[in-house]
Amino acid sequence: MTRATKSKAGTPPAPTISAIPPADVLGRLAALKSTATPDLKQQWRELFAAEPPPYNRRFLESRLAYRIQELAYGGLKPETIQRLEALGEQLDGGNPVLRRIRGDDKPITGTRLIREYQGVEHSVTVLHDGYEYQGRPYQSLSSIARAITGTRWNGWLFFGLKNRRGTA
């Protein structure tokens, strides 16, 4: 199974979107920041021939900026697209379920997490397969937080890697 979507029989061909003159690119990119959101959505309809997604303004700006440059200077070479698809297949084996799973958001191996608790500074080192605190290995930050405080804690919250609302 490849990542490229196959067109279904009976579906009309995608509308042709005219190229943007390279001389217009810088002006159009600069104008994105001051353009009203409804106008950005209209540009999306014109440049992508589809309804804009319900994402935030920043997303619309960045994707429109890429699309403007793509139409002016050309997109990725077919060889690059094929290479990216092949790499994607190696990562998930063509399984669409795996594509939806978030990658590991653990800090990079070797990172030192420092937390002061009751006037004492505690340092944790991120390992490939866990964490190290006071020369001992631990499987989770929560177990380290419990060793430090004596009570149950969300380790990510304790070490400041996640705020109280749950976003990293």
The string of pLDDT tens digits covering residues 44-66 is 999 999 999 888 888 999 999 99
Q: What's the rounded Cα separation, in Å, for the pair 4 and 79?
A: 14
Q: How far is CA 111 from CA 23, 73, 114, 138, in A?
A: 45, 40, 10, 15
Contact (Cβ atoms closer than 8 angstroms) between residue 72 and residue 20: yes
Q: Please report, as a single letter, which amino acid is at residue 81.
A: I
Q: Where are the domains of the chain?
A: 22-73, 111-159
- Using the CB atoms, write b or e for 94-118: b if 16+ within 10 Å: eeeeeeeeeeeeebeeeeebebeee
Give the global pTM: 0.48
Q: Using 50, 70 and 90 to split pLDDT, how confident is the model at 7?
A: very low
Tokens of 1: 């199974």
> Mean pLDDT, the chain, as a whole number?
83
At 102-157, the pLDDT tens digits run 556 778 889 999 999 999 999 999 998 899 999 999 999 999 999 999 999 999 99
Tally helices (H) and strands (E) across the chain: 7, 4
More confident residue, 137 or 97: 137
Neighbour count for residue 158 (Cβ, 10 Å): 21
